[in-house]
A and B are shown apart, each in its own frame.
Chain A
Amino acid sequence: MPLLRTERLTKSFGALTAVNAVTLEVEAGSLHSVIGPNGAGKTTFFNLLTGQLTPTSGRILFDGRDIAGTPPHDVAHLGIARSFQRTSIFPTLSIFDNVWLAAFARARSWRGLGWRRAERYPELGDAATAALRSVGLEAKAARPAREISHGEQRQLELAIALAAAPRLLLLDEPAAGLSPDETQRMVALVRQLKGRYTIVLIEHKIDVVMTISDRISVMHFGSLIAEGTPAEIQRNADVRRAYLGGVSVA
């Protein structure tokens, strides 16, 4: 059984249908990429999965359970974590606290919520440190998040998602705005996560996706126009047209 399955998932904003009857399956343990030109509806698709938006119609089955319309904070507790395309961190908090808060959100018990000192949750401290180590930020743990570079903030973005110990990891263009060097490093990082997490990756740099994905879904004007292995996608004529700026294929 797939970990995630959407059935004719649709989101309309007035006359605009941003996501149009998307049916997609993500196998547990796989890295499934969603690609498509800017404005194809990829981020809207993520926002539906995480509850930031309520679908107009369709179903989202996570582990066999329909979660469409569940508010974001409840979706997080089901074990779905995401990173954002536009860096979304807590700028005045320390890097460590940024990650720690992600771990605490998913902690088994919130006992001592308003009273216990944060350092009295050793297992969460360890989880946070581990997440920072996996992206290579543990040396800067005490720095306020606003003080580090954009590239490092992208790494922190990823660490926050990892610290939630997710069953499903949604990565929204983790390499957005990175230099070629930094992009290489980010791709290496995502490659390391492969197999350890079930990952849905949004990316519009097609070369990045081809090398690391198990399966690829291609979105164009809100609809899925192709799905398959990287090799199959590479041969697909519709995909080429979408990327080479052809008119609507729908």
Chain B
Amino acid sequence: MRSANNPEARHGSAGTRPSIGGLGAISGPPARQTKQAWLAILAAVLLLPVFVRYAVATEIWIFAIFGLGLNLLMGYTGLLSFGQATFFGSAAYVAGYLLKYANVGVLVALVVGIAVGAASAAVVGYLCVQRSGLYFIMLTFALNQMFYFTAYQWTTVTGGEDGMPGVPRPAVLGFDVHGPLPYYVAVAVLFLASMAVMKRLVESPLGKILQAIRDNEARAEALGYDVRRMKLLAFVVAGAFSGLAGVLYAMLFGIVPLEAIGFVFSGNVVFATLIGGSGSLYGPVIGSFVFIWLSESVSTIWQRWPLLLGVAFVIVVLFFRGGVVEAWARVWAWRAAQRAPTATVRHDAAP
């Protein structure tokens, strides 16, 4: 990371530009908060295996990578995709097949998975961005169903309802990742790398263009941005992240279940991201934690755990449209106001 985090040093003639509450002229959280968030994530990566099983901890970070991709579409571009499992599942099947029958290495499988995720997203995205609003959402859903039924019927390759079992997890460059701990470490590293890439992306010109499209599509078009092409680009990037997550998922459980390409899976990632907070870089990470932890831990104690998720969802939609991230920001603002009643509070929570 570059050390130009100091908001005062941003842009050539920064001296003429004021900085309010440590905020640079560029939208985004102040550097101090970013640093805190990264420290929290790092701590979570280190401590999580102490509290939950390795498999669960690993699944949390895999699902978080999946959520990062969706969030680029949903949170940053304003495109609600109900078909992310298309890219996740396609990558899992193709890479799983190659791992199983062609004895390819893990690195090749990962690259292939990312490529398949991006390519399938390019095809699906091209069709979907022709429409907007409800029609867009229905298209993502319908195309997801097409992929699902293809996988369901093509039993010779995918195993249909039984899934594709026996996906191996070969050594990576001499490192054995067969045990749960080494695999956890590998996935955690890839998750942190994905976070870094996504952070870079949303702070780049492209990230701003996508947010501009979310805010006001007609104006973005009038400024000279080919809105459809930009949306398609967001799709491809989101697909690449989904693909990476899909391959990691297949290697985690040693199987590609049919559900990995199903619409419920697409819905789950939307759900998790909304609970965590869409539009915030960290929202899908928190959402993934909440979702996977609840589904893996509470489900063993209480069969009707999805009720809890439902309650959480209702609370988010009614009171915290920005999810856990917004709730957190509000608590902070409230506490700051309690400590210094006369000081002004910066309202940075979404409306």
Report which A residues bind B (CB closer than 8 A).
50, 52, 71-74, 76-77, 82, 84, 88-94, 96-97, 100-102, 104-106, 110, 112-119, 121-123, 125-126, 129, 138-139, 141-144, 160, 164
Is the pair B224, A164 in contact by a Cβ cutoff of 8 Å? yes
Chain B residues closer than 8 Å to A141, beta-carbon distance? 17-18, 25
The CA of A138 and the CA of B17, in the complex, are separated in Å by 7
Out of B16, B27, B220, B227, which one reaches A94, CB within 8 Å?
Answer: B27
Most chain A CB neighbours (cut-off 10 Å) among B20, B24, B25? B25
Residues from chain B with Cβ under 8 Å of A97 in the complex: 25-27, 208, 212
**Interchain nearest-CB distance for B32 vs A (Å):** 16
B4 on interface, CB distance cutoff 8 Å: yes
B: number of interface residues (CB 8 Å): 43
Which residue on A lies nearest to B211, using beta carbons?
Answer: A93
Min distance, Cβ A12 to any Cβ of chain B, angstroms: 22
CB-defined contacts of B2 to chain A, threshold 8 Å: 117
Known: A73-B227, A93-B211, A115-B204. A82 touches B222 (CB 8 A): yes
The smallest beta-carbon distance between A161 and chain B, in angstroms, is 9
The 10 closest A-B pairs by CB, nearest first: A76-B224, A105-B224, A122-B12, A125-B11, A96-B25, A90-B215, A114-B206, A105-B223, A119-B10, A94-B27
For this complex, 26 residue pairs linking A to B, each with C-beta atoms less than 8 Å apart, are A71-B221, A73-B223, A73-B225, A77-B224, A89-B216, A90-B211, A93-B27, A93-B208, A93-B212, A97-B26, A97-B208, A97-B212, A100-B208, A101-B208, A110-B205, A113-B204, A114-B204, A119-B11, A122-B12, A125-B11, A126-B11, A129-B11, A129-B13, A138-B16, A142-B19, A142-B25
Q: Of all chain A residues, which has the CB nearest B27?
A: A94
Residue B333 CB within 8 A of the other chain: no
Q: Does B203 contact A (CB under 8 A)?
A: yes
Q: Which residues of B contact A (CB under 8 A)?
A: 2, 4, 10-13, 16-20, 23-27, 200-201, 203-209, 211-212, 214-216, 218-227, 233, 237, 350
Contacts of A118 in B (CB 8 A): 26, 203-205, 208
- Asked if residues A164 and B223 are in contact (CB atoms below 8 Å), the reply is yes
Whether the Cβ atoms of B222 and A50 lie closer than 8 Å is yes
In the complex, chain B residues whose CB is within 8 Å of the CB of A112: 204-205
List chain A residues, Cβ under 8 A from B17: 96, 129, 138, 141-142
Smallest Cβ distance from B92 to chain A, in angstroms?
A: 25
Assuming A112-B205, A129-B16, is B216 touching A88 (CB within 8 A)? yes
> A150 → chain B, closest Cβ, in Å?
16
Taken together as a complex, chains A and B put the C-alpha atoms of A18 and B323 apart, in Å, by 46
Would you call A94 and B25 a contact (CB within 8 A)? yes
Question: Which of the residues A96, A114, A143 comes within 8 Å of B26, measured between beta carbons?
Answer: A96
Set of chain B residues within 8 Å of A91, measured between Cβ atoms = 215-216
From known contacts A116-B204, A141-B25, A142-B20, infer whether A90 and B219 are also in contact, taking CB-CB under 8 Å.
yes
Q: A113-B206, A164-B223 are in contact. List 6 more A-B contacts (CB 8 A).
A: A92-B211, A96-B26, A105-B223, A114-B201, A114-B206, A126-B13
- Considering the chains assembled together, what is the distance between the CA atoms of A73 and B19 in angstroms? 33
| Residues of chain B contacted by A77 (CB below 8 angstroms) | 224
Output the residue of A92, A117, A119, A138 with the most chain B CB within 10 A: A119
A42 CA / B141 CA spacing, docked (Å): 41
Most buried by A among B4, B13, B201, B216: B216
In the complex, residue of chain A having the shortest beta-carbon distance to the beta carbon of B9? A119
Chain B: minimal CB distance from A125 (Å): 4
Q: What residues on A are CB-neighbors of B200 within 8 Å?
A: 115, 117
B18 lies within 8 A of A139 (CB): yes
Considering the chains assembled together, what is the distance between the CA atoms of A118 and B206 in angstroms?
A: 9
Which B residues touch A138, using CB under 8 A?
16-17
Q: Verify B222–A93 contact, CB threshold 8 A.
A: no
B203, B208, B214: most-surrounded residue (chain A CB, <10 A): B208
Min CB–CB distance B27 → chain A (angstroms): 4
Distance between B217 CB and nearest chain A CB, rounded to angstroms: 10
Closest A-chain residue to B20, C-beta based? A142
